[in-house]
Protein backbone atom coordinates (compact mmCIF):
# COMPACT_ATOMS: atom_id res chain seq x y z
CA UNK A 1 0.00 0.00 0.00
CA UNK A 2 1.23 3.49 -0.90
CA UNK A 3 0.97 5.77 2.18
CA UNK A 4 -0.45 9.25 1.73
CA UNK A 5 0.63 12.36 3.59
CA UNK A 6 -1.94 14.91 4.78
CA UNK A 7 0.11 17.72 6.26
CA UNK A 8 2.17 16.09 8.98
CA UNK A 9 -0.07 12.98 9.10
CA UNK A 10 0.84 9.80 7.23
CA UNK A 11 -2.11 7.53 6.35
CA UNK A 12 -1.40 3.90 5.53
CA UNK A 13 0.83 2.73 8.35
CA UNK A 14 -1.71 2.44 11.20
CA UNK A 15 -5.47 2.95 11.61
CA UNK A 16 -6.36 6.64 11.47
CA UNK A 17 -9.40 8.17 13.17
CA UNK A 18 -11.12 10.91 11.17
CA UNK A 19 -13.58 13.02 13.18
CA UNK A 20 -16.42 14.69 11.30
CA UNK A 21 -17.56 18.26 11.93
CA UNK A 22 -20.98 19.20 10.55
CA UNK A 23 -21.05 22.69 12.05
CA UNK A 24 -22.32 25.72 10.17
CA UNK A 25 -19.69 28.32 11.04
CA UNK A 26 -15.93 28.57 10.90
CA UNK A 27 -15.60 29.13 14.64
CA UNK A 28 -17.81 26.13 15.47
CA UNK A 29 -15.84 23.85 13.18
CA UNK A 30 -12.57 24.98 14.75
CA UNK A 31 -13.97 24.30 18.22
CA UNK A 32 -15.04 20.84 17.06
CA UNK A 33 -11.57 20.19 15.67
CA UNK A 34 -9.95 21.12 18.98
CA UNK A 35 -12.29 18.77 20.88
CA UNK A 36 -11.73 15.94 18.42
CA UNK A 37 -7.95 16.17 18.61
CA UNK A 38 -8.10 16.26 22.40
CA UNK A 39 -10.18 13.06 22.33
CA UNK A 40 -7.59 11.29 20.18
CA UNK A 41 -8.63 11.95 16.57
CA UNK A 42 -5.83 12.10 14.00
CA UNK A 43 -7.63 14.04 11.27
CA UNK A 44 -10.76 16.16 10.79
CA UNK A 45 -13.37 15.80 8.07
CA UNK A 46 -14.41 19.37 7.33
CA UNK A 47 -17.97 19.20 6.04
CA UNK A 48 -18.39 22.60 4.44
CA UNK A 49 -22.02 22.03 3.32
CA UNK A 50 -23.44 24.57 5.75
CA UNK A 51 -20.85 27.34 5.55
CA UNK A 52 -22.56 30.47 4.18
CA UNK A 53 -20.01 31.47 1.52
CA UNK A 54 -16.82 30.45 -0.24
CA UNK A 55 -15.08 33.19 1.73
CA UNK A 56 -15.94 31.21 4.87
CA UNK A 57 -14.42 28.12 3.27
CA UNK A 58 -11.23 30.02 2.52
CA UNK A 59 -11.07 31.39 6.08
CA UNK A 60 -11.55 27.90 7.54
CA UNK A 61 -8.71 26.41 5.51
CA UNK A 62 -6.40 29.27 6.41
CA UNK A 63 -7.14 28.94 10.13
CA UNK A 64 -7.26 25.19 10.72
CA UNK A 65 -3.97 23.62 11.72
CA UNK A 66 -4.98 19.95 11.95
CA UNK A 67 -4.70 17.50 9.02
CA UNK A 68 -8.06 17.48 7.29
CA UNK A 69 -10.20 16.19 4.43
CA UNK A 70 -12.67 18.66 2.94
CA UNK A 71 -16.07 17.39 1.79
CA UNK A 72 -19.25 19.07 0.60
CA UNK A 73 -22.29 16.81 0.44
CA UNK A 74 -25.64 17.27 -1.27
CA UNK A 75 -28.81 15.68 0.17
CA UNK A 76 -28.33 12.77 -2.26
CA UNK A 77 -25.14 11.91 -0.37
CA UNK A 78 -26.36 12.68 3.13
CA UNK A 79 -25.48 16.38 3.17
CA UNK A 80 -27.19 19.75 3.17
CA UNK A 81 -25.63 21.67 0.25
CA UNK A 82 -28.54 22.47 -2.09
CA UNK A 83 -27.02 24.80 -4.64
CA UNK A 84 -25.88 23.73 -8.11
CA UNK A 85 -23.25 21.09 -8.71
CA UNK A 86 -21.04 23.70 -10.37
CA UNK A 87 -21.20 25.80 -7.21
CA UNK A 88 -20.34 22.75 -5.11
CA UNK A 89 -17.24 22.05 -7.19
CA UNK A 90 -16.26 25.72 -7.00
CA UNK A 91 -16.57 25.53 -3.21
CA UNK A 92 -14.28 22.49 -3.09
CA UNK A 93 -11.84 24.16 -5.49
CA UNK A 94 -11.68 27.13 -3.12
CA UNK A 95 -10.56 24.75 -0.37
CA UNK A 96 -7.88 23.29 -2.65
CA UNK A 97 -6.60 26.70 -3.68
CA UNK A 98 -6.35 27.79 -0.02
CA UNK A 99 -4.19 24.78 0.86
CA UNK A 100 -6.52 21.98 2.04
CA UNK A 101 -4.58 18.88 3.06
CA UNK A 102 -7.02 16.61 1.14
CA UNK A 103 -10.25 16.86 -0.83
CA UNK A 104 -13.17 14.41 -1.06
CA UNK A 105 -15.37 13.81 -4.11
CA UNK A 106 -17.97 11.12 -4.83
CA UNK A 107 -17.25 8.89 -7.81
CA UNK A 108 -20.87 9.26 -8.96
CA UNK A 109 -20.50 13.03 -9.37
CA UNK A 110 -21.01 14.27 -12.94
CA UNK A 111 -17.78 13.07 -14.63
CA UNK A 112 -16.90 16.46 -16.13
CA UNK A 113 -17.19 18.23 -12.79
CA UNK A 114 -15.57 15.39 -10.88
CA UNK A 115 -12.58 15.32 -13.23
CA UNK A 116 -12.33 19.12 -13.14
CA UNK A 117 -11.95 19.01 -9.35
CA UNK A 118 -9.45 16.16 -9.53
CA UNK A 119 -7.38 18.10 -12.06
CA UNK A 120 -7.45 21.21 -9.85
CA UNK A 121 -6.35 19.16 -6.83
CA UNK A 122 -3.51 17.52 -8.74
CA UNK A 123 -2.32 20.87 -10.03
CA UNK A 124 -1.98 21.99 -6.40
CA UNK A 125 -0.51 18.72 -5.13
CA UNK A 126 -3.60 18.05 -2.99
CA UNK A 127 -4.43 14.39 -2.22
CA UNK A 128 -7.81 13.29 -3.57
CA UNK A 129 -10.19 10.96 -1.76
CA UNK A 130 -12.73 9.38 -4.13
CA UNK A 131 -15.70 7.59 -2.61
CA UNK A 132 -18.26 5.09 -3.77
CA UNK A 133 -21.42 5.70 -1.76
CA UNK A 134 -24.92 4.29 -1.70
CA UNK A 135 -27.12 6.10 0.82
CA UNK A 136 -30.10 3.77 0.46
CA UNK A 137 -28.81 0.18 0.55
CA UNK A 138 -25.89 -2.22 0.49
CA UNK A 139 -25.53 -3.66 -3.02
CA UNK A 140 -24.18 -7.20 -3.53
CA UNK A 141 -20.45 -7.62 -2.99
CA UNK A 142 -19.84 -8.10 -6.71
CA UNK A 143 -21.51 -4.79 -7.57
CA UNK A 144 -19.60 -2.93 -4.87
CA UNK A 145 -16.28 -4.37 -6.01
CA UNK A 146 -17.04 -3.50 -9.63
CA UNK A 147 -17.72 0.12 -8.66
CA UNK A 148 -14.62 0.29 -6.48
CA UNK A 149 -12.46 -0.97 -9.33
CA UNK A 150 -13.92 1.87 -11.38
CA UNK A 151 -12.86 4.26 -8.61
CA UNK A 152 -9.35 2.79 -8.72
CA UNK A 153 -9.13 3.63 -12.42
CA UNK A 154 -9.42 7.33 -11.47
CA UNK A 155 -6.09 6.97 -9.62
CA UNK A 156 -7.21 8.35 -6.25
CA UNK A 157 -4.88 8.90 -3.32
CA UNK A 158 -7.50 7.62 -0.87
CA UNK A 159 -10.67 5.56 -1.35
CA UNK A 160 -13.85 5.36 0.71
CA UNK A 161 -16.68 2.84 0.58
CA UNK A 162 -19.87 3.92 2.38
CA UNK A 163 -23.16 2.09 1.92
CA UNK A 164 -26.39 1.91 3.96
CA UNK A 165 -26.74 -1.20 6.12
CA UNK A 166 -30.33 -2.39 6.57
CA UNK A 167 -29.35 -5.55 8.47
CA UNK A 168 -26.39 -7.35 9.98
CA UNK A 169 -26.15 -9.27 6.72
CA UNK A 170 -25.33 -5.94 5.07
CA UNK A 171 -22.70 -5.31 7.73
CA UNK A 172 -21.05 -8.60 6.85
CA UNK A 173 -21.05 -7.67 3.15
CA UNK A 174 -19.09 -4.50 3.94
CA UNK A 175 -16.60 -6.35 6.13
CA UNK A 176 -16.13 -9.03 3.46
CA UNK A 177 -15.60 -6.28 0.89
CA UNK A 178 -13.00 -4.65 3.14
CA UNK A 179 -10.99 -7.86 3.00
CA UNK A 180 -11.26 -7.95 -0.78
CA UNK A 181 -10.36 -4.28 -1.19
CA UNK A 182 -6.86 -5.10 0.02
CA UNK A 183 -6.34 -7.26 -3.07
CA UNK A 184 -6.93 -4.59 -5.74
CA UNK A 185 -6.32 -1.21 -4.08
CA UNK A 186 -2.79 0.06 -3.51
CA UNK A 187 -3.88 3.18 -1.59
CA UNK A 188 -5.32 3.69 1.91
CA UNK A 189 -9.07 3.08 2.14
CA UNK A 190 -12.07 3.18 4.47
CA UNK A 191 -15.01 0.76 4.41
CA UNK A 192 -18.13 1.85 6.28
CA UNK A 193 -21.63 0.49 6.66
CA UNK A 194 -23.89 3.44 7.47
CA UNK A 195 -26.67 3.42 10.05
CA UNK A 196 -27.14 1.62 13.39
CA UNK A 197 -26.62 -1.84 11.89
CA UNK A 198 -23.35 -0.66 10.44
CA UNK A 199 -21.81 0.80 13.59
CA UNK A 200 -19.44 -2.17 14.17
CA UNK A 201 -17.96 -1.69 10.70
CA UNK A 202 -16.25 1.52 11.72
CA UNK A 203 -13.65 -0.05 14.03
CA UNK A 204 -13.78 -3.59 12.63
CA UNK A 205 -12.94 -2.66 9.05
CA UNK A 206 -9.67 -1.17 10.30
CA UNK A 207 -8.81 -4.50 11.90
CA UNK A 208 -9.43 -6.15 8.51
CA UNK A 209 -7.16 -3.86 6.52
CA UNK A 210 -8.85 -0.47 6.19
CA UNK A 211 -6.49 2.45 6.87
CA UNK A 212 -8.94 4.95 8.33
CA UNK A 213 -12.44 5.30 9.67
CA UNK A 214 -14.84 8.10 10.56
CA UNK A 215 -16.00 9.07 14.05
CA UNK A 216 -18.35 11.53 15.70
CA UNK A 217 -16.84 14.26 17.83
CA UNK A 218 -19.65 13.97 20.35
CA UNK A 219 -22.63 11.66 20.81
CA UNK A 220 -25.97 12.23 19.16
CA UNK A 221 -24.66 12.82 15.65
CA UNK A 222 -24.99 10.58 12.61
CA UNK A 223 -26.84 7.32 13.52
CA UNK A 224 -24.35 4.48 13.84
CA UNK A 225 -21.32 6.75 14.06
CA UNK A 226 -19.30 6.06 17.19
CA UNK A 227 -17.49 8.87 18.96
CA UNK A 228 -13.71 9.21 18.76
CA UNK A 229 -13.40 7.91 22.32
CA UNK A 230 -15.69 4.92 21.69
CA UNK A 231 -13.88 3.96 18.49
CA UNK A 232 -10.48 4.15 20.17
CA UNK A 233 -11.65 2.01 23.09
CA UNK A 234 -13.07 -0.71 20.83
CA UNK A 235 -9.92 -0.84 18.73
CA UNK A 236 -7.70 -0.81 21.79
CA UNK A 237 -9.64 -3.76 23.23
CA UNK A 238 -9.62 -5.80 20.04
CA UNK A 239 -6.08 -5.01 18.88
CA UNK A 240 -3.89 -4.05 21.80
CA UNK A 241 -0.65 -4.56 19.91
CA UNK A 242 -1.56 -1.68 17.54
CA UNK A 243 -2.99 0.72 20.12
Q: Give the predicted TM-score (pTM) of the model.
A: 0.96
Distance CA 30, CA 176 (A): 36
Q: Which residues of the chain have pLDDT under 50?
A: none
Distance CA 42, CA 102 (A): 14
pLDDT at 220: 57
**Is 1 within the bounds of a domain?**
no
**Is 3 within the bounds of a domain?**
no
Domain holding 64, by residue range, is: 14-242
Count: domains in the chain: 1
**Is 5 within the bounds of a domain?**
no
CA distances to 49, 175, 211 from 146, in Å:
29, 16, 20
pLDDT at 58: 98
**Is 135 within the bounds of a domain?**
yes
pLDDT at 224: 82
Q: For position 207, which CATH number holds?
A: 3.20.20.70
pLDDT at 221: 66
**Is 47 within the bounds of a domain?**
yes
**Is 180 within the bounds of a domain?**
yes
**Is 122 within the bounds of a domain?**
yes
**Is 237 within the bounds of a domain?**
yes
Closest C-alpha among 225, 237, 188, 213 to residue 16: 213
Amino acid sequence: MRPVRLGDLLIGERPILVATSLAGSVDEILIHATRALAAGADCIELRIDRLPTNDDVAELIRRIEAPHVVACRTPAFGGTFERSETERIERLETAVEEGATAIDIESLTDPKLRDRLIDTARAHGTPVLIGYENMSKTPPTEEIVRNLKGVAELEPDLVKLAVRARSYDDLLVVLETALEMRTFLNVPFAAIALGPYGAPSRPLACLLGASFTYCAIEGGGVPGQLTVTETREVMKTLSKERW
